[in-house]
Amino acid sequence: MKKITFIVFLLLVGGVAGGVAWWRLKMPQDQQRRLTLYGNVDIRSAQLAFDGEAIVATMQAEEGTPVKAGEILATLDSTGLQAELDEGKAQVLAQDAVVRRLEAGTRKQEIEQARAHFASVQARLANAEQDLKRITETAASGASSQQRLDEAHTQVSIEKAQLAEAEQVLSLANDGPRQEDIEEARARLQANRAHVRLLENRLANTSLRAPFAGVIRSRLMEPGDYATRGRAAYTLAMSDPKWVRGYVSEPDLGRVRPGARAWVTSDSFKNKTFDGWVGFISPVAEFTPKTVETTDLRTQLVYEVRIYVKDPEDRLRLGMPTTVVVDEASSPSTLPVPTTQSDSAGTGLEGKRP
């Protein structure tokens, strides 16, 4: 009986020892492949302002309204600018007609008119010369006065001058406009068109559009306010990407790498887990911010880590405290990388830290 009891005892001890050994070999390995971090949700935001100065006509979005990229959020009064644009377009049409007229050259009818005028002056000159010849002959016999002779000489000189003028007019009609005049007219037309494009751009800027999809955080103007450059009308929070700003201690830094899979949970959604991945690890150490809760000493140096989160239902809010579990064994090559990941180097508009 004692022998049987001893054998049972040995079996029990062996089972317990085996279970402990299995737990040490298996369970710690799984746990070591998971790293728990604590942080807060961070979201990029932008201060949207008009590129112009005028009276605010409409404010079409309220706080908390989701908007799409390119959606019109507000408009300025554009009555005067529209009239100025209409005037500019009319000037373009007028100058375009001038250019086309110069490029077409002198019309055939104008050339024929100049030629007829030249022939008419030639005929008058010939007639004046005949009168001068007759008066000269009669003046020698005393039949014509010296005054009539002088008047005949003067008329011949006048007709010769008019003939020279008519000849130049005919030559200009045949040659057409000068190339310099055409180039000047073309340059004026280009300047008018550039002015119209400028006015069209200014008119387009009277509409404030959302630069990206997001949610209106603040409405800072109302219709009737006077908008100026740099004065924000809305604060727009970006819907995607979102990330959790967490911190990892130096001993655990080697367990985190960009692209590692992660899961994000929040006390606000106890039964909801958000998929994510490590998108950025700061190369510079810092002291743990006071708002971050970790199990280590707050004076310990840590590194900032951004865990990008998939939140298609837009549940996560700026500053929301979260818990992040990072799977250090996941393969980075199988995980998505956000197109805006380069912004982590310090470019782009970032949300305020909670």
224-260 confidence digits (pLDDT tens): 999 998 899 999 998 888 888 888 888 888 888 888 8
Whole-angstrom distance, CA of residue 321 vs CA of residue 327:
20
Average pLDDT, integer, range 276-287: 82
Domain match, 71 and 107 both:
no
pLDDT class of 141 with cuts at 50, 70, 90: low
At residue 184, the pLDDT reads 87
In a domain, 299, yes or no: no
Work out the percent of the chain whose per-residue pLDDT is above 70: 70
Where does a domain end: 154, 177, 200? 200
Question: Does residue 105 fall inside a structural domain?
Answer: yes
**Assigned token pair, 159:** 């007709």
CB 199 within 8 A of CB 81: yes
Instruction: Read off the pLDDT of residues 208-228 as tens digits, 9 standing for 90 and up.
Output: 999 999 999 999 999 999 999
Residue 318 has φ and ψ, to the nearest 5°, of -60, 130
Q: Which two tokens stand for residue 8?
A: 């049972």
Residues 132 and 161 grouped into a single domain: yes
Is the preceding omega at residue 283 within 30 degrees of 0, hence cis?
no
Q: Which domain holds residue 137?
A: 85-200
Binning pLDDT at 50, 70 and 90, where does residue 319 land? confident
pLDDT at 94: 93
Same domain as 188, residue 52:
no
Same domain for 187 and 93?
A: yes
122 within some domain: yes
In a domain, 181, yes or no: yes
pLDDT higher than 70, residue 7:
no
Task: Report the C-alpha gap between 204 and 197 in whole angstroms.
Answer: 10
Q: Are residues 181 and 138 both part of a single domain?
A: yes
What CATH number did the domain enclosing 224 receive?
Answer: 2.40.50.100
The string of pLDDT tens digits covering residues 165-209 is: 777 776 666 666 677 888 888 899 999 999 999 999 999 999 999
pLDDT band with cut points at 50, 70 and 90 for residue 304: confident
| CA distances, 23 to each of 16, 27, 32, 219, 328 (Å) | 10, 5, 13, 57, 20
Confidence grade of residue 22 (pLDDT, cut at 50, 70, 90): very low
Same domain, yes or no: 190 and 50: no
Percentage of residues in the chain with pLDDT exceeding 90?
27
The answer to whether residues 153 and 192 belong to one domain is: yes
pLDDT score at 257: 86
> Does residue 190 sit in the same domain as residue 211?
no
Average of per-residue pLDDT across 46-74: 93
Higher pLDDT, 123 or 89: 89
User: How many distinct structural domains can be found in the chain?
Assistant: 2
Residues 188 and 117 in one domain: yes
> What are the distances in angstroms from CA 337 to CA 76, 259, 295?
39, 7, 30
Shared domain for 104 and 188, answered yes or no, is yes
Identify the pLDDT of residue 70. Answer: 93
Name the band, by pLDDT with cuts 50, 70 and 90, for residue 339.
very low
Would you put residue 341 in left (φ > 0), alpha (ψ -120 to 50) or beta? alpha
Is 55:79 a contact under the CB 8 Å cutoff?
A: no
pLDDT of residue 102: 79
Whether residue 142 has pLDDT greater than 90 = no
Residue 334, domain member (yes or no):
no
The mean pLDDT value of the chain amounts to: 77
Between 269 and 156, residue with greater pLDDT: 269
Tell whether 313 is covered by a domain: no
175 and 130 housed in the same domain: yes
Pair 100, 187 in one domain: yes
